[in-house]
């Protein structure tokens, strides 16, 4: 493994939590009424953010690395804060949350049935789709509160991708190349299925946010390709892009997606 340890991740998650504690919440009173399609879309993502993380924490505990478990708990707390922010956003525009959505129910069932490595692969698909989705939310509206909320969540999601990449890369390090290639094939099937569901299910919202469905798919595919390469095919002495590298990584992502 490179020089970054899960103790480093604990420190970065704690620093982010400390910054959140110092920041005021978005000015909920300034929220505008959102387009109904965007509201429906946010409601669905809010349910996805709203898990208790018990399954992942349990598997993280079984992994036998206290630092990793501590980092997982902090990661889960960030996701729960996303659910809170989206709930407040919906409330400020006069809209309730929903109790669940079929796509999220299936996603959670699949994740819980898997071991840690497969759960993280499934979770990573959601993280990559979420990165592009929150970028669309942040950039596709004139509502300052929505832009603020989406920007805060996006900053966290940009940390989650390399966090999961590091654990997955460790998990695949000892497998032969043929096994990693098989894993890559299955992972791509999962990603393409998920991005297909999201682009159909959220088509009206993406349209309102000014993102063509084809553009959304291509951007997610481009980002996912870099994740697959990093996790499954990078050399043993390659270091996962972490806190200092996130800006350049996501900078290149944004450059790629703004072309």
Indicate whether 160 belongs to the interface with Fe ion (CB under 5 A): yes
Minimum distance between the CB of residue 153 and Fe ion, rounded to whole angstroms? 6
Residue closer to Fe ion (CB basis): 127 or 143: 127
Alpha-carbon dihedral 221, 227, 162, 201, rounded to 10 degrees: 30
- Residue among 79 and 119 whose Cβ is closer to Fe ion: 79
Instruction: Kindly tell me which of 120 and 185 has the beta carbon lying closer to Fe ion.
Output: 120
CB of 175 vs Fe ion, minimal distance in Å: 25
Stretch of 64-72, 90-98, 151-159, 165-173 contacting Fe ion, by CB under 5 A: 151-159
- Cα 106 to Cα 90: distance, rounded to the nearest angstrom: 24
Q: Does 152 help bind Fe ion (rule: CB under 5 A)?
A: no
Q: Which is nearer to Fe ion, 29 or 132 (CB)?
A: 132
**Could you say which of 82, 138, 152, 202 contacts Fe ion (CB under 5 A)?**
82
When asked if residue 219 is in the footprint of Fe ion (CB under 5 A), the reply is no
Q: Residues 34, 51, 79, 104: which binds Fe ion (CB under 5 A)? A: 79
Which of residues 87 and 127 has its CB atom nearest to Fe ion in the complex?
127
Beta-carbon contacts of 175 under 8 Å, excluding residues fewer than 6 positions away, are: 183
Residue closer to Fe ion (CB basis): 53 or 180: 53
| Number of residues this chain uses to bind Fe ion (CB under 5 A) | 6
The token pair at 161 is 């991708």
Stretch near Fe ion under the rule CB under 5 A, chosen from 8-16, 46-54, 189-197, 238-246: 46-54
Task: Please pick, from the candidates 157, 171, 199, 208, the single residue that binds Fe ion as defined by CB under 5 A.
Answer: 157
Q: Which is nearer to Fe ion, 49 or 148 (CB)?
A: 49
* Interface pattern 94-133 for Fe ion (x via CB under 5 A): ---------------------------------x------
In DSSP notation, the chain reads --S--HHHHHHHHHHHHHHHHHSPPP-GGGPPPPPHHHHHHHHHHHHHHT---HHHHHHHHHTT-HHHHHHHHHHHHHHHHHHHHHHHHHHHTT----S--HHHHHHHHHHHTS-HHHHHHHHHHHHHHHHHHHHHHHHS---HHHHHHHHHHHHHHHHHHHHHHHHHHHHHTTS-HHHHHHHHHHHHHHHHHHHHHHHHHTHHHHHHTT--HHHHHHHHHHHHHHHHIIIIIS-TTPPPP-HHHHHHHHHHHHHHHH-
Kindly calculate the radius of gyration of the chain based on its CA atoms and give it in whole angstroms.
18
| Contact call for residue 143 and Fe ion (CB under 5 A) | no
Stretch that binds Fe ion, among 26-34, 44-52, 89-97, 104-112 (CB under 5 A): 44-52
- Residues contributing to the site for Fe ion (CB under 5 A): 49, 79, 82, 127, 157, 160
């Amino acid at each position: 493994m490179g020089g970054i340890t899960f103790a480093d991740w604990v420190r970065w998650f704690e620093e982010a939590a400390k910054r959140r504690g110092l920041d005021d919440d978005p000015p909920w009173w300034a929220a505008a009424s959102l387009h109904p399609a965007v509201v429906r879309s946010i409601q669905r993502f809010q349910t996805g953010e709203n898990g208790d993380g018990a399954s992942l924490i349990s598997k993280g505990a079984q992994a036998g690395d206290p630092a990793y478990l501590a980092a997982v708990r902090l990661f889960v707390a960030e996701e729960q804060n996303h659910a809170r922010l989206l709930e407040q956003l919906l409330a400020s525009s006069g809209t309730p949350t929903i109790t669940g959505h079929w796509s999220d129910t299936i996603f959670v069932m699949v994740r819980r049935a898997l071991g840690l490595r497969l759960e993280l692969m499934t979770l990573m698909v959601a993280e990559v789709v979420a990165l592009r989705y929150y970028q669309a939310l942040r950039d596709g509206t004139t509502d300052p509160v929505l832009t603020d909320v989406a920007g805060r969540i996006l900053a966290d999601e940009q940390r989650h991708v390399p966090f999961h990449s590091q654990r997955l890369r460790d998990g695949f390090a000892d497998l032969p190349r043929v096994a990693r290639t098989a894993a890559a094939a299955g992972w791509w099937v999962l990603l393409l299925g998920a991005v297909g569901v999201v682009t159909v299910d959220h088509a009206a919202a993406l349209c309102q946010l000014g993102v063509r469905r084809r553009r959304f798919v291509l951007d997610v595919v481009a980002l996912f390709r870099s994740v697959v390469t990093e996790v499954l095919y990078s050399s043993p002495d390659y270091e996962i892009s972490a806190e200092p590298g996130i800006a350049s990584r996501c900078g290149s992502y944004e450059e790629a997606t703004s072309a």
